[in-house]
Amino acid sequence: MRRLVPLVLAACAVAGPALAQDSAQDGSKAVGAASEAATLLGASGVKTAVGVSAVPVSVAAGGASAVGAAGASVAVGGTSAAADLSKAADVSAKTALKVDDDVVVAADPAPKVPYQPAKK
């Protein structure tokens, strides 16, 4: 622990320059990342899709009408959906999982909540 104090001080001494490195720059780029990413990918010929929800496979397999109802129960943590999943895992474990080519981009870059840092 004694060694930690000088190390902390040393880190503080370089903290300013270090923060100016890639990660800080990238942080500013993160705003609007979803639309930017979709544009970049599209320009490169990558097939993209904007994802609006991810639902358990067994729920989706139940048909379009079931998606909404079962999806809602998943959102509130329905245990029946969990049970369905277990069954689905048993049944479809025998078949290879398929992955589509679309690169899914999130629709919303970040949760939008009112938050104001305390002013000093």
Partner 1 sequence: MKRLIAAILAGCLAVAAVPAAAQDSSARAVAAHFTAPEAAAFSKQIERDLAAKDARVALVFRTGRARDKLPEGIAYTHGALWVYRTIQTADGRSVAGYAVYNLYAGDGPNWPRTESRLIQDYPFDFTRGSAVDDVAVIIPSPEMQRRMLAVIDGPGYARLHNPAYSLVANPWSRKYQNCNNFMLNVVGAAAWETDDPARLTANFKAHFQPTVVKASGVMRLFGPIADQRLRTDDQKGPIRTATYESISAFMRQNGLLQEAYALNFRRP
Interface with partner 1 in residues 61-120 (CB under 8 A): 61, 67, 74, 76-79, 81-83, 85-86, 89-90, 93, 96-107, 109-113, 115, 117
* Beta carbon of residue 102, minimum distance to partner 1 (angstroms, whole number): 5
54 binding partner 1? (CB under 8 A): yes
> Residue 70 burial (CB < 10 Å; 0-12/13-18/19+)?
buried
Instruction: Round to whole Å and give the CA distance between 30 and 21.
Output: 15
> How far apart are the C-alpha atoms of 97 and 69, rounded to whole Å?
24
Shortest Å, Cβ 119 to partner 1: 14
